[in-house]
């Protein structure tokens, strides 16, 4: 199967937007740009269409999907109740990189919720994503448009590198601005629970809702018998082909450890301005004091490592787990299968 590419530079390109929407309405899967990462979209109300997402990605069936809507009113048929806290969050952060988990109605098929009684919903801020959802006329289930486990795609080229020939089409809307997946917050508990950090920080959420709890799965792996209640909780994710090891410590100790443990296939993932000091091949992922930049570049940098010949081990600098940096740290933790060495 040949994957079509629709290059769309503005929401006024209705011909290509409608063409992508028609594929979705016919039960196909289309990769679309969002402000976070590219998503692999299908009609969220059609279990058969959604199953094609899992097949294309090689995604485990017990990993739930996020449903994307284009206006707040579209949430009502999908959830049993919209609590005041959800309205407050939507007013503050939608459209934007925040996903809200609520008890679902029967309109959401099990393929989307992975058998859970909840559904994760967000309204993306990318104008092309919103235009495709509106043109399709249905909510869209859309995990990241990559092969399951590999770094998430922030360009259409990344999508094609992983899924060319496996999906119907990709909408090329340029590079994603945030660069890591959305923040996921569950409202099914007495205290709202952060299931996955992202571009909306815990501090921003608490400014709207008051106290929230950060789920333990943000920092550690779920047990094999535990069901993930959000994407990005259970499995190894975001990982290049090389083995990633996080080194927690200052630059001097980082360089010393890499120098002492480097082999032919070793590379470093470091901050901008540090590459020249590395004793091995190195890729930067933003400045040390700029977690927003780190988030924007992390996945592209992990993919760049895969383009280096012969690399099998990557020593990574450890970002500060605060603000947006918590999302960067979480993604690196999962890329490294939680292997962190304290220097």
Model pLDDT for residues 164-218, shown as the tens digit of each residue? 999 999 999 999 999 999 999 999 999 999 999 999 999 999 999 999 999 998 9
Per the domain annotation, does 79 fall within a domain?
Answer: yes
Q: Tell me the Cα Rg of the chain.
A: 20
Per the domain annotation, does 223 fall within a domain?
Answer: no
Per the domain annotation, does 120 fall within a domain?
Answer: yes
CATH for 50: 3.90.870.10
pLDDT at residue 233 tops 70 = no
> What's the half-sphere exposure (Cβ side, CA atoms, 13 Å) at 338?
11
Per the domain annotation, does 103 fall within a domain?
Answer: yes
According to DSSP H, which parts of the chain are helical?
14-25, 47-57, 84-93, 110-113, 127-136, 156-163, 202-209, 251-261, 291-307, 325-335
Nearest to 144 by CA among 302, 293, 277, 266: 302
Based on the fold, state whether residues 129 and 34 are members of the same structural domain. yes
Other residues' Cβ atoms within 10 Å of the Cβ of residue 28: 18
Based on the fold, state whether residues 40 and 168 are members of the same structural domain. yes
Of 157, 179, 201, the residue that ends a domain is 179
User: Which residues make beta-bridge pairs with 171?
Assistant: 6
Q: What pLDDT is stored for residue 229 in this prediction?
A: 65
Of 179, 197, 232, the residue that ends a domain is 179
The mean pLDDT of 57-73, rounded to a whole number, is: 92
CATH for 314: 3.40.50.11030
| pLDDT tens-digit map of 275-318 | 999 999 999 999 999 999 999 999 999 999 999 999 999 999 99
What whole-number distance in Å separates Cα of residue 83 and Cα of residue 121?
14
Per the domain annotation, does 30 fall within a domain?
Answer: yes
Q: What pLDDT is stored for residue 238 in this prediction?
A: 76
Based on the fold, state whether residues 26 and 98 are members of the same structural domain. yes
pLDDT at residue 105 tops 60 = yes
Strands 118-122 and 39-43: unpaired
Per the domain annotation, does 198 fall within a domain?
Answer: no
Based on the fold, state whether residues 164 and 256 are members of the same structural domain. no
Least confident stretch, 201-205, 221-225, 265-269, 283-287: 221-225
pLDDT at residue 234 tops 60 = no
Based on the fold, state whether residues 146 and 291 are members of the same structural domain. no
Q: What is this structure's pTM?
A: 0.95
Print the domain residue range for 260.
243-342
Helices (H) and strands (E) in the chain, counts: 10, 16
Burial 89-107 (b: 16+ CB within 10 A, else e): bbeebbbbbbbbbbebeee
Phi/psi for 260 (5° steps) reads: -75, -20
Q: Provide the domain count of the chain.
A: 2
């Amino acid at each position: 199967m040949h994957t079509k590419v629709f290059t769309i530079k503005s929401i006024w390109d209705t011909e290509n937007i409608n063409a992508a929407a028609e594929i979705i309405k016919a039960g196909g899967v289309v990769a679309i740009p969002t402000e976070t990462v590219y998503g692999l979209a299908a009609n969220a109300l059609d279990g058969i269409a959604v199953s094609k997402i899992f097949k294309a990605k090689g995604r485990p069936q017990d990993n739930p999907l996020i449903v994307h809507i284009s206006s707040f009113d579209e949430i009502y048929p999908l959830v049993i109740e919209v609590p005041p806290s959800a309205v407050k969050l939507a007013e503050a952060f939608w459209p934007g990189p925040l996903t809200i988990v609520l008890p679902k109605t029967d309109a959401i098929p099990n393929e989307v919720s992975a058998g859970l009684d909840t559904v994760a919903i967000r309204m993306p801020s990318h104008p092309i994503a919103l235009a495709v959802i509106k043109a399709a006329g249905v909510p869209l289930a859309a995990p990241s448009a990559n092969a399951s486990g590999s770094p998430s795609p922030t360009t259409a080229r990344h999508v094609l590198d992983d899924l060319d020939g496996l999906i119907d089409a990709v909408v090329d809307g340029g590079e994603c601005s945030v660069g890591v997946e959305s923040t996921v917050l569950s409202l099914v508990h007495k205290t709202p629970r952060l299931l996955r950090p992202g571009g909306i920080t815990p501090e921003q959420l608490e400014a709207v809702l008051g106290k929230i709890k950060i789920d333990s799965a943000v920092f550690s792996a779920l047990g094999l018998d535990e069901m993930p209640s959000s994407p990005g909780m259970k499995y190894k994710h975001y990982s290049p082909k090389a083995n990633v090891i996080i080194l927690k410590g200052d630059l001097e100790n980082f360089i010393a450890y890499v120098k002492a443990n480097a082999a032919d296939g070793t590379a470093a993932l470091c901050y901008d301005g540090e590459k020249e000091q590395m004793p091995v091949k190195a890729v930067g992922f933003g400045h040390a004091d700029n977690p927003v930049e780190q988030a924007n570049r992390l996945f592209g940098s992990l993919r760049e490592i895969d383009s280096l010949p012969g690399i099998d081990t990557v020593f990574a600098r450890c970002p500060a787990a605060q603000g947006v940096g918590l999302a960067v740290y979480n993604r690196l933790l999962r890329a490294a299968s939680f292997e962190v060495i304290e220097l």
